[in-house]
């Protein structure tokens, strides 16, 4: 069974920059995403594959999840990316512009590579990046397209570009897309990662954006600058106060159940089985 990682913060790093990848090893990000797509020019992609292959084991040795964003599966670059990095056994690959066909294609290629390299079948996971209108509307089918999928990410920049609308700090324009991803992820019990916040120095805006995503049900958030990591980690971590509250709630409900009741009052509010189960899930998350 593959290791399960805490995935609060996921930092994108250009795959062509050995210097930036080297620095990322010591950062507080839970996952490092070595990018072979948008952050790498066409002329640098071959060299970037070699650079990333060198750093995957270093990232993993530091206790972090090593993820690679490959190029789109409808390009030869995407196929070459999978072939190049599979031997280094990344924990997951991000499939951009994801649809059902591209996810299944990545799955099939990875299966063949795992067999060839004598790796455990399914050991390399897939994270679809939904960043098109068609992808958002077909989210539930995409997330269910492969058993390798253990997370899904929203890409708001390409999405809003396609829609012809502006990205705002408030994020109202992507609320619908965010909700569809959360529901699809929940339906298949996989992690759900929010789009990066592009205001590098706007820490207040970052906090509000991350809190909004967390309140919707996202389990983590991607970022493009190390300065955002700690704030994201705080938002997507369970606080001691939340843990204590959940424990008290579960204890109160279990006492009520032992007395033959299906609901009870707890700190001025009525609680029942679904509320108690939500508290148990929070305690389970805190224990990971």
Tens digits of residue pLDDT in 273-287: 989 888 888 887 776
Handedness of CA 286, 25, 121, 138 (dihedral sign): positive
Average pLDDT, stretch 231-235? Answer: 95
Contact call for residues 124 and 92 (beta carbons, < 8 A): yes
Q: What is the pLDDT of residue 98?
A: 98
Classify the phi-psi angles of 229: left when phi > 0, otherwise alpha if psi is within -120 to 50, otherwise beta. alpha
* 188-217 average pLDDT score: 95
* pLDDT greater than 80 at residue 256: yes
State how far the Cα of 185 lies from the Cα of 209, in Å rounded to an integer: 19
**Tell me: the pLDDT tens digits for 141-176?**
999 999 999 999 999 999 999 999 999 988 999 999
- Position 1 pLDDT exceeds 50: no
Report d(CA 160, CA 148) in Å as an integer: 28
Q: Running DSSP on this structure, what letter comes out for residue 10?
A: E
| Confidence tier at 2 by pLDDT (50, 70, 90) | low
**Residues ≥6 apart with Cβ < 8 Å to 180:** 136, 137, 139
Cβ(218)–Cβ(192) below 8 Å: yes
Q: What is the C-alpha to C-alpha distance for residues 210 and 221, in angstroms, rounded to an integer?
A: 7
pLDDT at 3 exceeding the cut of 70: no
Residues 22, 27, 30, 36, CA torsion sign: negative
Mean pLDDT of 24-33: 95
Q: What is the pTM of this model?
A: 0.88
pLDDT digits (tens, 9 = 90+) for 45-57: 999 999 998 899 9
What pLDDT score does 287 carry? Answer: 67
User: Using CA atoms, how far apart are residues 266 and 275, in angstroms rounded to an integer?
Assistant: 11
Do residues 138 and 99 touch, judged by C-beta distance below 8 A? Answer: yes
- Specify the DSSP element, H or E, that contains 270: strand 269-272
Q: Write down the mean pLDDT value for the chain.
A: 93
Examine the pLDDT at 6 and tell me if it is beyond 80. Answer: yes
């Amino acid at each position: 069974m593959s290791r399960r990682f805490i995935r609060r913060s996921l930092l994108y790093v250009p795959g062509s920059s050995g210097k930036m990848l080297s620095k990322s090893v010591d950062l507080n990000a839970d996952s490092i995403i070595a990018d072979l797509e948008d952050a790498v020019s066409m002329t640098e992609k071959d060299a970037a594959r070699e650079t990333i292959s060198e750093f995957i084991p270093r990232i993993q040795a530091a206790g972090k999840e090593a993820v690679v964003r490959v190029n789109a599966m409808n390009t030869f670059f995407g196929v070459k990316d999978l072939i190049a990095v599979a031997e280094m056994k990344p924990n997951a690959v991000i499939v951009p512009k994801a649809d059902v066909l591209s996810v299944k294609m990545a799955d099939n290629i990875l299966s063949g590579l795992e067999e060839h390299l004598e790796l455990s079948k399914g050991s390399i996971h897939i994270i679809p990046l939904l960043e098109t209108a068609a992808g958002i509307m077909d989210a539930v089918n995409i997330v269910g397209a492969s058993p390798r999928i253990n997370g899904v990410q929203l890409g708001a920049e390409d999405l809003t570009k396609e829609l012809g609308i502006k990205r705002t700090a408030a994020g109202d324009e992507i609320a619908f897309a965010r909700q569809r991803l959360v529901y699809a992820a929940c339906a298949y019990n996989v992690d759900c990662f929010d789009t990066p916040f592009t205001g590098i120095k706007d820490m207040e805006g970052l906090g509000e954006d991350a809190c909004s995503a967390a309140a919707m049900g996202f389990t983590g958030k991607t970022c493009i600058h190390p300065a955002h990591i700690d704030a994201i980690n705080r938002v997507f971590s369970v606080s001691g106060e939340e843990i204590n509250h959940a424990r008290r709630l579960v204890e109160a409900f279990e006492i009520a159940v032992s007395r033959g009741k299906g609901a009870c009052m707890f700190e001025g509010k009525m609680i029942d089985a679904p509320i108690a189960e939500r508290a148990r899930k929070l305690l389970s998350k805190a224990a990971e």
